[in-house]
């Protein structure tokens, strides 16, 4: 099966400096996996929270499945992330101590067909940091154009 589902959260890379990345499984219900396979997912404004020592992702919008009838899922519900206990404790300690946040970066399908979410431990950027990042990308793009011409 060709893995062509790769939905990214571009806003997260603009607003945050990603310190560490983790890959977590998603606990899905009903027709959610069918909507993900159709690419009907939005990761904008999504973040992770801890509830009862478990990690949940909030703000992911998985659209209703068109042929789901009454079996459809709730599009904006919180979804549990599946991580090792060691990783959960490490993330919880860092978020609590240093004021970092956990954001959803990318959703994809694994080789075995399971939906996976790449999350990142992130630190918020200031306005001047965002401008610096844009400036750096522009200069990089110009350098690549000049290299193509020569």
Report how far residue 130's alpha carbon sits from residue 136's, in angstroms, rounded to the nearest whole number.
10
Domain boundaries, the chain: 6-125
90-149 pLDDT per residue, tens: 999 999 988 899 999 999 999 888 999 999 999 988 887 788 888 988 999 999 998 888
pTM for the full predicted model = 0.81
Q: Is the pLDDT of residue 1 over 50?
A: no
DSSP 45-90: T-EEEEETTEEEEE--EEPPPTT-GGGPPPTT--EEEE--HHHHHH
Look up the CATH architecture of domain 6-125: Beta Barrel (2.40)
50: burial class by Cβ within 10 Å (0-12, 13-18, 19+)? Answer: middle
């Amino acid at each position: 099966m060709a893995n062509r589902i790769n939905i990214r959260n571009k806003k997260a890379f603009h607003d945050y400096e990603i310190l560490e990345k983790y890959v977590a499984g998603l606990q899905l219900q009903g027709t959610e996996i069918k909507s993900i396979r159709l690419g009907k997912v939005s990761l904008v404004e999504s973040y992770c929270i801890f509830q009862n020592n478990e990690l949940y992702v909030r703000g992911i919008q998985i659209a209703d499945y068109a042929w789901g009838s009454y079996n459809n899922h709730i599009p904006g519900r919180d979804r549990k992330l599946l991580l090792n206990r060691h990783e959960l404790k490490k993330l919880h300690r860092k978020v609590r101590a240093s004021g970092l946040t956990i954001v959803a970066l990318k959703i994809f399908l694994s080789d075995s067909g399971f939906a996976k979410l790449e999350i990142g431990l992130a630190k918020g950027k200031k306005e001047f940091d965002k401008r610096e990042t844009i400036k750096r990308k522009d200069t990089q793009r110009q350098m690549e154009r000049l290299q193509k011409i020569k």
